[in-house]
Structure 1
Amino acid sequence: MSKAAVIFWSQTGNTEQMANAIADGIREGGMEVDVLNVADTTPADAVKYAKIALGCPAMGAEVLEETEFDPFFTELESKISGLKVALFGSYGWGDGQWMRDWVQRTNDANAVIYTDEGLIINETPDDDGIAKCKEFGKGFAAF
């Protein structure tokens, strides 16, 4: 059985809640999954998985978190060509530009991206948001 990783960064816990729900969906979809905080893994370890779901909230002027997550993703970009990748995160303002930029970077790295929009949820995921995360994970497992 192939294994997926859900790798995330979360300041308030919103993106972490999304990560756990996505992992539940991946399990429901029949895959084993590890849930990892970005501080607890490396790009070299990440690419050992059959699929990786990456989660980061919008920060500042709609950018990836700049201290831990963006440096991790910048190093990962050169290693993800052909790898199945899903993107997700929470936001509190703006219109999702950080996700569109992140999807573009992932496409430019020639990853095989699950959905061209990623999954974004405003603020704390409610029951509907958690359900969307689980469906996203289940779909990613089948992808």
Structure 2
Amino acid sequence: MIKIVYWSGTGNTENMANHIAEGIKASGKEVHTTLVGNIEVNEVMDAEVIVLGCPAMGAEQLEEDEMQPFVDALLPQIEGKKVALFGSYGWGTGEWMEIWHEEIKAARANVVCEPLIVNEFTTGQDEEICKQYGERLAKC
């Protein structure tokens, strides 16, 4: 099973999570999608792929009350685990994702796809991009 864990403030990252899950399901894989506040780190450790989503916050950083603590608890345990990242942003250049991606790689996780980022979330165009990302994840 692929597990998607995300935080969303405006709904853009939630939309991404839902469309990524659609792509995974369409490829015949089982997927579980949940808000980060509804799951503990130990509940994702059995996933085929751990998919994490968070928008850029503040000065291009992860959300600090729920997502960052989850990631901090996850990092010491993900060596060799398949991990993928996604998120949305409304300003900047995507630096938060580059930093997050490097942090996951430094923990020796097996990053299975390049991170997916979208500016805001455009209905139609970004839905398809997210579904295709889910299809790629299902093949990992």
Q: Residue 127 of structure 2 is aligned with which of 126, 130, 134?
A: 130
The more displaced of 61-70 and 22-31 is 22-31
Aligned residue identity for 2:131: K
**1:19-38 correspondence runs (5 A):** 19-38=17-36
Q: Distance in 2 between matches of 1:90 and 1:8?
A: 11
Deviations 1:80-106 (A, max 9, x none): 111111100000000000000010001
RMSD between aligned residues: 0.8
Deviations 1:18-55 (A, max 9, x none): 00000011111221000110000011111121111100
Counterpart secondary structure, 1:66: coil
Identity %: 44
> Is 1:39 aligned with 2:32?
no
Q: Distance in 1 between matches of 2:108 and 2:133?
A: 21
Name structure 1 gaps, 5 residues minimum: none
**1:55-134 correspondence runs (5 A):** 55-116=53-114, 118-134=115-131
Aligned residue identity for 1:136: Y
Q: 1:127 Cα deviation (Å)?
A: 0.8
Counterpart secondary structure, 1:78: helix
Q: 1:126 Cα deviation (Å)?
A: 2.2
CA contact (8 A) 2:113 2:137 kept: no
Structure 1 runs of 4+ aligned residues shifted over 2 Å read: none
Counterpart secondary structure, 2:77: coil
CA contact (8 A) 1:18 1:125 kept: no
- What TM-score, normalized to structure 1? 0.95
- What TM-score, normalized to structure 2? 0.97
Count of residues in Structure 1 that have an aligned counterpart in Structure 2: 140
CA contact (8 A) 1:23 1:137 kept: yes
Q: Distance in 1 between matches of 2:44 and 2:50?
A: 7
Q: Distance in 1 between matches of 2:37 and 2:76?
A: 19
CA contact (8 A) 1:17 1:125 kept: no
